[in-house]
């Protein structure tokens, strides 16, 4: 019914949907532009006059109208695609002009709304005469008014979902706009939610599932469940297909309707509700697929109950946006372009999904695998197509696990992403097709696709926002990943690079703990932990509790894996790899870590020693060659200089400088030799874990470092004491506000490095820390750790005589390295978050691949 049919003359608030296309309709001079300026933002209004000016430099040049409306339609389309309320300010009195706008609204699945300004033609003509820039022929306004009057009764038939007619100047002046949220927009509801899959009349299983989820059932006088309340305030959400096929459709409806009416649940319609509702309204439908069972069961119910059922099903909204748009619930799945939109096409997809046009061997339609292509930010939870097991695929999950067919009834706890299910009491309805999915949904999802990693990429991270990967870096990473890396199903994490501490100005030092402590203090971080930096190579270990653990979780059988910072297998010897993993597994079992963390696998960050175990060729070619050359040449040089001095030649600083060079060369050789020792099997190998990264369902890397070190100490203590492989990581807590604490940590570093140690890593005790802006607002991410390397170790990095060039080396730029460290750190934690959430392989692999790609960025490798 249009507003004019109400007969109201009082000032009205005109309801306008917040994402819609508002079409102003009125003759020239009716006041459309004034109305638009009064009630809408300037950016929301697209004026035909303005567009005419864009293309002709004259808003009144009617010869440019065709081009102007092309521009107008283009702008309107772009705004609607972005989900923006858009208002068209033009006469729009001709059906063809309106038809094009309605078509654009439909193409973008938004509601077209008409606001008609029906102002007497005399008033409009007078207004036009008062405008010196617009002198219209006398016949124009009367003709437009006639076209307007002919259009009024047919606007709804043209496709406008709301029609507001304002008659006369007073009514136009008094009217106001009231923005309404879309029916599907429940973003203000943040949960927590329990989302329940297709029930199909299985009331008893629904009762059991709700009870298992913690809901308390309420029953009527006849003992029938009519409501369920969660003591913690959780809300149930039903994905539709409550009815048909099962033994008690009325019982399911009575319970779900009661929960929705009480505000304890939400519900979207399924295709079976849609068909049952039409049948109950007397529409002609084909009675199949379990509809007969529902009609027969409802025949025994009261007319009042059946009327409530009809009203309930008519009021169901196709889909809901929840939790700020992070969650979408619908029946048959929904591509991102349809989220929050309102049209027949959106409703149809939400109810029935999309098919390929083919049928399978059972005569059923083949569903289009939309979830394989989904890349949206929102988690889409749906049902409709029965699957044996619910699992995540590309941030979607199908919860229809075929309860009525003898499968199970499944719920997803959100935001926990935990699945809870109950087995069907029996097979209530024989399926036409065996309970196997033609939709995607295997645990690992679809295979990796080149399109996931090729070209320029932007990865969303929770900690650091959007991280960009350049195309050339992605190409380099793809070369390494495809030729040398482990099976990507295992490669759940790559460790980030680490920035050095700010450059020291202290005499004789390039790096010193003082600068690290001052930098963290400036970032507002008080509590730190200094960890011993080991003399080995970075290694990530995936350790399985038993032979089948990795097969269950990662789809790859075996004891686990050990890999380098570039994703390659750390050791070429599979037996030695298995032996190292076996020692870690046994220690973790004895330490009780598997049971404590509720997991069958552990992911650890560690240092594997000696350095020569992995870098023997590097040592031989680069470091040993330099040491050998210096050892061979410099003694001869010193001998010659001594002979020359004996003959009375004046050598000045030359002899002293060469003696310093010889001492530097000996120190260089001694420095790298400390990182080399022989190994045979496990004998000689030392593994120094310093962090537990992840376990089943948990990103442990965000826990405080003292928790990690406590776990590691238990792990090391549980190792075989007769021939230990696991090695403790030394540490020193620091309070940067306490001078005594700072002095103790500095002395500890000096002792470590004087004894030949590499140095230490300084980390915030709380692990993940942000700076604090004004008014307590969180700022940027603080460096997760900085390395402070000893004077002698830096000879390996910068050369034997680097101390002669300290002033030049102090000019080194650390900005790019620090930025790189933060980006890689955020990507690593993002991968662990996605792994813990059970997201599909491509989602976990995306940030892992990005870490490797960023390693190709040009940066001084000595930093």
277 pLDDT above the threshold of 70: yes
- Quickly state the pLDDT bin for 7 (edges 50, 70, 90): very low
- Mean pLDDT over 293-320 rounds to 95
Phi, psi (degrees; rounded to nearest 5) at 675: -95, 5
Retrieve residue 103's tokens: 């078509």
Q: Output DSSP code: residue 153.
A: G
Q: How much of the chain, in percent, has pLDDT values that exceed 90?
A: 62
Q: How much of the chain, in percent, has pLDDT values that exceed 70?
A: 89
710 pLDDT above the threshold of 70: yes
> CA distances (Å), 243 to each of 211, 217, 248, 383, 691, in order?
20, 20, 8, 13, 51
309-334 per-position pLDDT tens digit: 999 999 999 999 999 999 999 999 99
More confident residue, 218 or 672: 218
Q: Output DSSP code: residue 255.
A: H
C-alpha 762/C-alpha 786 separation (Å) is 5
User: What's the pLDDT score for residue 801?
Assistant: 79
SS3 content of the chain, % helix, strand, coil (to 5): 40, 20, 40
- Quickly state the pLDDT bin for 626 (edges 50, 70, 90): low
**How many helical (H) and strand (E) elements, i.e. helices and strands, does the chain have?**
29, 36
615 pLDDT above the threshold of 60: no
Count of CB atoms situated within 10 Å of the CB of 572: 9
User: What's the pLDDT score for residue 285?
Assistant: 86
H, E, C per residue of 767-793? CCCEEECHHHCEEEECCCCEEEECCCH
441 pLDDT above the threshold of 50: no
C-alpha 679/C-alpha 668 separation (Å) is 23
Retrieve residue 851's tokens: 């870490």
- Quickly state the pLDDT bin for 443 (edges 50, 70, 90): very low
C-alpha 639/C-alpha 655 separation (Å) is 10
5 pLDDT above the threshold of 60: no
Is the link from the previous residue into 192 a cis peptide, with omega within 30 of 0?
A: yes
117-127 per-position pLDDT tens digit: 999 999 999 88
- Quickly state the pLDDT bin for 528 (edges 50, 70, 90): very high
Q: Left, alpha or beta for 253 (phi > 0: left; psi -120 to 50: alpha)?
A: alpha
Q: Among 291, 255, 226, 247, which Cα is nearest to 425's? A: 247
- Mean pLDDT over 499-515 rounds to 91
User: What's the pLDDT score for residue 776?
Assistant: 52
- Quickly state the pLDDT bin for 439 (edges 50, 70, 90): very low
775 pLDDT above the threshold of 70: no
Q: Left, alpha or beta for 275 (phi > 0: left; psi -120 to 50: alpha)?
A: alpha
Q: Which residues pair with 468 in a beta bridge?
A: 458
Q: Using an 8 Å Cβ cutoff, are 193 and 417 in contact?
A: no
Retrieve residue 658's tokens: 């060469």
4 pLDDT above the threshold of 60: no
Which helix (DSSP H) or strand (DSSP E) does residue 132 occupy? Answer: none
């Amino acid at each position: 019914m249009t507003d004019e049919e109400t007969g109201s003359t009082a000032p009205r608030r005109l309801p306008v949907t917040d994402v819609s296309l508002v079409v102003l309709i009125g003759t020239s001079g009716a006041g459309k532009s004034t109305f638009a300026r009064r009630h809408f933002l300037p950016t929301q209004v697209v004026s035909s006059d303005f567009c005419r000016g864009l293309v002709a430099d004259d808003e009144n040049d009617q010869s440019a109208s065709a081009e102007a409306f092309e521009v107008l339609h283009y702008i309107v389309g772009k705004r609607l695609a972005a989900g923006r309320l858009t208002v068209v300010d033009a006469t729009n009195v001709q059906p063809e002009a309106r038809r094009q706008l309605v078509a654009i609204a439909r193409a973008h699945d938004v509601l077209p709304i008409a606001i008609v300004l029906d102002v007497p033609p005399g008033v409009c003509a007078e207004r036009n005469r008062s405008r010196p820039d617009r002198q219209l022929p006398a016949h124009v306004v009367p003709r437009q008014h006639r076209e307007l009057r002919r259009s009024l009764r047919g606007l709804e038939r043209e496709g406008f979902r709301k029609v507001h007619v304002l008659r006369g100047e007073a009514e136009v002046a008094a009217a106001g706009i009231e923005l309404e949220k879309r029916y599907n927009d429940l973003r203000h509801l943040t949960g927590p939610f329990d989302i329940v899959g297709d029930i199909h009349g299985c009331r008893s299983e629904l009762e059991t599932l709700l009870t298992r989820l913690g809901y308390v059932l309420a029953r009527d006088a006849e003992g029938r469940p009519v409501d369920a309340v969660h003591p913690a305030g959780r809300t149930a959400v039903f994905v539709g297909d409550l009815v048909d096929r099962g033994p008690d459709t009325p019982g399911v409806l009575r319970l779900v309707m009661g929960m929705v009416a009480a505000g304890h649940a939400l519900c979207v319609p399924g295709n079976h509700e849609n068909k049952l509702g039409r049948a109950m309204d007397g529409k002609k439908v084909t009675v199949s697929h379990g509809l007969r069972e529902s009609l027969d069961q409802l025949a025994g119910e009261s007319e009042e109950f059946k009327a409530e059922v009809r009203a309930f099903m008519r009021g169901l909204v196709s889909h809901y946006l929840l939790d700020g748009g992070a969650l979408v619930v619908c029946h048959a799945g929904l591509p991102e372009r349809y989220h929050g939109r309102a049209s027949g096409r959106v409703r149809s997809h939400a109810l029935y999904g999309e098919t390929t046009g083919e049928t399978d061997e059972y005569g059923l339609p083949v569903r289009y695998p939309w979830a394989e292509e989904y890349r949206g930010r929102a988690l889409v939870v749906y049902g409709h197509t029965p699957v044996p097991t619910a699992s995540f695929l590309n941030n979607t999950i199908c919860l229809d696990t075929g309860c009525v067919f003898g499968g199970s009834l499944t719920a997803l706890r959100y935001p926990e992403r935990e699945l809870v299910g109950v087995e069907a009491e029996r097979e209530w309805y024989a399926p036409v097709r065996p309970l196997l999915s033609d939709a995607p949904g295997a645990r690992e999802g679809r295979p990796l696709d080149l399109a996931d990693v090729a070209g320029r990429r932007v990865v969303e991270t929770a900690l650091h926002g959007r991280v960009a990967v350049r195309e050339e870096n992605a190409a380099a990473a793809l070369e390494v990943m495809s030729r040398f890396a482990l099976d990507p199903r295992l490669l759940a994490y790559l460790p980030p690079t680490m920035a050095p501490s700010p450059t020291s100005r202290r005499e004789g030092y390039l790096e010193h703990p003082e600068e690290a402590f001052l930098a963290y203090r400036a970032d507002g971080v008080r509590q730190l932990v200094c960890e011993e930096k080991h003399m080995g190579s970075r290694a990530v270990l995936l350790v399985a509790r038993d032979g089948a653990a990795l097969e269950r979780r990662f789809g790859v059988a075996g004891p686990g894996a050990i890999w380098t910072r570039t994703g390659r297998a750390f050791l070429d010897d599979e037996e030695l790899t298995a032996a190292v993993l076996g020692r870690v597994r046994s220690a973790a079992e004895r330490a009780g870590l598997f049971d404590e963390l509720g997991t069958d696998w552990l992911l650890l960050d560690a240092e594997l020693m000696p350095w020569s175990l992995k870098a023997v060729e590097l040592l031989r070619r680069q470091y040993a060659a330099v040491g050998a050359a210096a050892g061979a040449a410099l003694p001869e040089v010193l001998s010659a200089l001594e002979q020359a001095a004996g003959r009375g030649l004046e050598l000045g600083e030359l002899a002293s400088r060469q003696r310093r060079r010889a001492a530097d060369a000996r120190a260089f050789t001694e420095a790298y030799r400390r990182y080399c020792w022989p190994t045979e099997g496990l004998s000689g190998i030392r593994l120094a874990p310093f962090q537990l990264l992840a376990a089943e369902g948990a990103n442990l890397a965000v826990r405080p470092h003292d928790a990690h070190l406590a776990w590691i100490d238990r792990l090391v203590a549980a190792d075989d004491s007769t021939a230990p492989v696991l090695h403790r990581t030394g540490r020193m807590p620091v309070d940067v506000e306490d001078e005594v604490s700072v002095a103790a940590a500095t002395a500890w570093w000096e002792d470590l490095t004087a004894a030949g140690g590499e140095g230490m890593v300084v980390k915030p005790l709380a692990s993940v820390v942000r700076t604090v802006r004004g008014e307590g607002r969180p700022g940027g991410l603080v460096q997760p750790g900085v390395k402070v390397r000893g004077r002698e170790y830096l000879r390996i990095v910068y050369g034997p005589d680097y101390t002669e060039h300290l002033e030049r080396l102090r000019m080194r730029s650390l900005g790019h390295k620090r930025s790189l460290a933060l980006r890689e750190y955020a990507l690593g934690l993002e991968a662990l978050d996605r792994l813990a959430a059970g997201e599909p392989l491509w989602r976990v692999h995306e940030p892992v691949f990005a870490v490797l790609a960023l390693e190709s960025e040009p940066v001084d490798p000595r930093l």
